Amino acid sequence: MDVQATFWALVPSLVAIILALITKEVYSSLFIGIIVGGLFYSGFSFEGTLVHIFNEGLTAQLADPYNVGILLFLVFLGIIVALMNKAGGSAAFGKWASEHIKSRVGAQLATILLGCLIFIDDYFNCLTVGSVMRPVTDRYKVSRAKLAYLIDATAAPVCIIAPISSWAAAVSGFAPEGTNGLMLFIKAIPYNYYALLTILMMVLMTATKLEYGPMLTHEKNAVNGDLFTVKNSAAGREDEASKKGEGEGKVVDLVFPIISLIICCVIGMIYSGGFFSGETFIDAFANCDASVGLVFGSFVALVLTLIFYLIRRVLAFKDCMACVPEGFIAMVPAIIILALAWTLKAMTDSLGAAEYVAGLVDQSKGSFHSFLPAIVFVIACFLAFASGTSWGTFGILIPICLKAFPLEGGSELAIICVSACMAGAVCGDHCSPISDTTIMSSAGAQCDHIAHVSTQLPYAVTAAGVSFIAYLIAGFVKNPVISLIIAASIMVFAVLMLNFTMQGKAFPAGSVKKPDANEEELK
Count Cβ atoms below 10 Å from residue 314 Cβ, excluding itself: 21
Length in residues, the chain: 523
pTM of the complete model: 0.75
3-state secondary structure of 250: coil
Cα separation, 71 vs 420, whole angstroms: 30
Note down pLDDT in tens along the chain; length 523 residues: 678 888 888 888 888 878 877 877 778 888 999 999 999 999 999 999 999 999 988 999 899 888 888 888 878 888 988 898 888 887 787 778 778 888 999 999 999 998 888 776 787 788 778 888 888 899 899 999 999 999 999 999 998 998 766 677 667 666 665 566 667 888 899 999 999 999 999 999 999 888 888 999 999 999 998 999 876 455 554 555 455 545 577 889 888 988 898 889 889 988 988 899 888 887 787 677 777 888 898 899 999 999 999 999 999 999 999 999 998 987 787 788 778 878 888 898 899 877 777 677 666 655 567 788 998 899 889 888 887 778 777 767 777 777 666 665 557 888 898 999 999 999 998 998 888 889 889 988 989 999 999 999 999 999 999 999 999 999 889 888 898 899 999 999 988 888 777 654 554 433 443 334 344 444 4
As a whole number of angstroms, the distance between CA 509 and CA 346 comes to: 50
Sequence-separated (6 or more) residues with CB below 8 Å from residue 519:
141, 223
For 326-377, what is the HEC assignment? HHHHHHHHHHHHHHHHHHHHHHHHHCCHHHHHHHHHHHHCCCCCCCHHHHHH
The span from the CA of 141 to the CA of 139, in Å, is: 6
- Among candidate residues 198, 175, 241, the one with its CA nearest the CA of residue 437: 198
Distance of CA 356 to the CA centre of its chain: 26
Cα separations (Å) of 377 from 58, 132, 162, 190, 360?
30, 34, 20, 15, 13
What phi-psi label fits residue 209: left (phi over 0), alpha (psi between -120 and 50 degrees) or beta? left
289: left (phi over 0), alpha (psi -120 to 50) or beta: beta
User: CA 333 to CA 440: how far, in whole Å?
Assistant: 10
Task: Check: CB of residue 120 under 8 Å from CB of residue 265.
Answer: yes
What is the DSSP secondary-structure string of 411-477?
A: -HHHHHHHHHHHHHHHHHHHH-TT-HHHHHHHHHHT--HHHHHHHHHHHHHHHHHHHHHHHHHHHHH
Among 475, 435, 453, 434, CA closest to 16: 434
Cα–Cα distance for residue pair 358/371, rounded to 1 Å:
17
Please answer whether residues 193 and 484 qualify as being in contact, where contact means their C-beta atoms are separated by less than 8 angstroms. yes
Q: Name residue 362's amino acid.
A: D
Please, how many CA atoms are within 13 Å of residue 414, restricted to the half-sphere of its CB? 17
Q: Which of 429, 506, 489 is nearest to 460 (CA)?
A: 429
The one-letter amino acid at 258: I
